[in-house]
Structure 1
Amino acid sequence: MSHAASDIGLFAENRIAHTASLTRNWWAVLLRGIAALLFGAIAVFMPGVTLASLVLAFGAYMLVDGVLTIVAAVRAATRQERWGLLVLEGLCDLVAGAVALALPTLALLTFVVLAAGWAIVSGVLMVVAAIRHAGEHSRLWLTIGGVASVAWGVLLALFPAAGLVVMTWWLGAYALIFGASLVALAITLRTRRSAATAAA
């Protein structure tokens, strides 16, 4: 019993310490919120800029990851370890990064095709699961989810450019909501800190 009580006490202490840390660094939370709001606004009102930035970031990441993977392969080879798959992975990363930077439109369309394929396959699997499922209510929701997923995948495949814009808008909406919640949290933390300072 005492062990459980000490665990609860430790959890409470950690929670208090975490809250105190957030309160001290309310300005960092505010900056994160503002950054998210700016990104969300750009994604919603300038989706083309957002898509181009994402492709460039992805291409740069793949190039760096490819180089680091090949370096790891060389180090593995010097230690008489398996290195073939690492080299292959690194080369694939480099090719993907180069294609993304040289042909950003192709990279975006490839992403949409993959997303459409995933949505269709997962939707079909959900419908199959619904057919095999015994519960009435669960079967209904599985069917609705599966059909919606297939429909979304088909629309993405038929209208890839529109699908990209819509996905960017969703990303922007998420960033706006996330940023607004962080700004609200920062204001709350700032108010709490001011009240604590005044009380002291």
Structure 2
Amino acid sequence: MLRLLSKYWWLLVLRGVLAVIFGIAAFALPGVTIAVLVLCFGAFSFVDGVFSLSGAWSARQEHADWWLPLLQGIASIVIGVLTYLNPALTAVALLIYIVAWSFVTGVLQVAAGIALRREIKGELWVILSGAFSILFAIFIMWQPGAGALALIWAIGSWAIIWGALLVLAGFKLRGAAHGAPHASPGHLRS
């Protein structure tokens, strides 16, 4: 798993940067209509899925854990396509898509981080990004009646924090790819 993620560390960084840009746009343009938010989310989810699939597909013969990013990519693409197939979604339907995507990708990122624990120190960033995504999904389902502006700000906040965590994880994995010390099984992990 470490070789897979460290080889494609830049995909995590790119996904993180795109998430941060998406989050900043949500704050900078709070008057954006729900329709535009639906289209932006659909595009973001689809592109995120393509990046995950490309990394998984490239590593499918070398790494046993290639299926985790594959599942994450498939989930992201499916949600992105579903978003575009019905652009007249209501805010509640958009919430369901966002919550489903955030929860599924979060669970898979936590699983990938746990798999990394055997191979590297600092896998905590991957686990934290997944846990944060799960908590975001729970928060949105807990407060589904929040106003559109609050929803946009919640999504923007999540995207910025999640994106920053992915960037940190990507650079940590880049260090691992360039010979940074690996965790041995007996050492404490961060």
Q: TM-score range by the shorter chain?
A: 0.3 to 0.5
Structure showing greater radius of gyration is: 1
Give the TM-score normalised by structure 1. Answer: 0.36
Give the TM-score normalised by structure 2. Answer: 0.38
